[in-house]
Structure 1
Amino acid sequence: MAALNSSSSLSSTFYFTGILGYEEYHHLISIPFCLLCLIGITGNCTIMHIVRTDPRLHEPMYYFLAMLSFTDMCMSIPTMITLFRVLWSISREIQFDACVVQMFLIHTFSFTESSVLLAMAIDRYVAICHPLRYATILTPRLIIKIGVTSFLRSSLPLVPLLIRLAFLPFCRSHVLSHSYCLHQDIIRLACADIKFNVMYGLGVVIVLWGIDCLGIFVSYVFILHSVLKISSREGRLKALNTCASHICAVLILYVPMIGLSIIHRFAKHSSPLIHIFMAHVYLFVPPVLNPIIYSVKTKQIRQGMLHLILPKNIRSSLM
């Protein structure tokens, strides 16, 4: 460890950190992580398969749900690879180039997921406030454009950070705080002026998340305004119930994300276990909980899952 912390080291190799203080239990700790990963991968792949194969689900709402599952997978899989390498004592090392690629994927798809949630909020707004124009407004062509734009909007602003990282010298400790690479974790190891990375990175987060959060908030203001005009209580509850899953998905993404950012920027000297716990919640909870929430709250998805796993006679009795 002393060699890893040597200030004279100019190596391009970085070293991951496992669960501090519990290194001897890493193999046992990997078991619940394996279960979470299995649940997340199975759930998201199932949702994408159901949406692709069931013609009844070829609607904007379910296309956006498939996008959400895809971004969840792309955000978590790069993390799983290095996490299990650490927990299974395979390797703690990662080269700088591979670390930057992993960082880019994690941040890009976390921003993309936020954009998809904004698109889903707009989808709910159109479905509730303009139901007769729903199919003509949210056409398949527009949905494809939204998906491509969400990815480009999330990835292109990160390019200046990648370019800047390529010129930063890392002559301090090369030990990362987590079992994967995050931008805010990498730059703290640089022995150069990192004001650009800090300020630009913070600006990207504020602008992208700020626009998404504001868009989601405004969408729900209009949704509530429209729902309150419905005369029957049952009609209001039915309309709001279509938004319940989306609201849960928004909270699942933003609460851990904001918590992790606050800890990194304002609680740097807190217990490392807090940093590790929040970082893993941020990357593992959304891919696991989103499929569960949508399968429980969305009848069509639930029926599609039952169709896959249960015999026809049992499906009929349950449905």
Structure 2
Amino acid sequence: MDTGTHLVMGIALGGLATLDPLVANSSYTATAVMIGTVLGSQAPDIDTVLKMRNNAVYIRNHRGITHSIPFVLLWPILITAAASFIFPEANMLHTWIWTFLAVFLHVFVDIFNAYGTQAIRPLSSRWVALGIINTFDPFIFGVHIAGLILWAFGLPPGPTFIMVYIILIGYYLARILEHRSIKALVREKIPDARRIILSPTMRYHKWKIAVTTGDKYYVAIADNREITILDTFERHPLPDSPVLDAALKDVNLSAFVSFSPVYRWEISYEQEMFTVRFIDLRYRSRGRYPFVAIVHLDDQLNILNSFTGWVFTEEKLQKKLNVITG
């Protein structure tokens, strides 16, 4: 989920904690718990700072180890230990419990996004991405805001947020059923589908779709349960090519391949330069595929420049690559 949604979830969980008698009867514990749930709701995303380094490091590591099983256990310990110095009178066990719930909830809801997390590390480095909830879901954010407003107007936070989470459980179940229904419709449309990847949008009944068959990729959209195929690409295995072998050693392209589950590739040669381009098929937007990796190599297969990330025009891509076009 986005930072704002994680934040309101942390505050809401702090309000829900008032149902705990040890929290409700101690202002020190209540304050420590609120700080713990707010910090716990944000802690796994500390790896966002990696974007300041470069896109390759960010793509390879964001929602990686900081969302893993060891860190789900570590974050509450660190936050509770810090709280114990500021509020020594607070009940640290209950501070830890509610902080742990905040961290766990953060990672749990991220699993439902199309981006996903490596939540089961170190058991597996596989990305868990269910593709059921958009990174920013207006309904989820709005229900939390409504609960916070009701709290501000004097309603007791515990019962208020119990109702909020009952509503959200129902919403998640409805989204799961919608997800399954859309997959079934895709299989009817493309019977030989081997893999179907759905990416939710901010509209409830609109989904982006990428399908892999034995010999083709299909890019489609579902809108009000109507499946429309937008693009079809021939599926070609990666060739045994010295150019490709050299390009895959580049940090940007290797990061892209480690993250993207469905992509097509292109190799071209012009102006005494090889261009290797990989294009993720999940994020079609306005007729373009903005998430790409591109590597330029000279005749001796030395890497001249490279890039991976989101770009929406070829001009911006060339600027990022520092390529002067005539």
Where relative contact order (Cα < 8 A, 6+ residues apart) is larger, the structure is 1
Q: By percentage of residues, which structure has more strand?
A: 2
Q: By percentage of residues, which structure has more helix?
A: 1
Q: So what's the TM-score if we normalise by structure 2? A: 0.34
Q: So what's the TM-score if we normalise by structure 1? A: 0.35
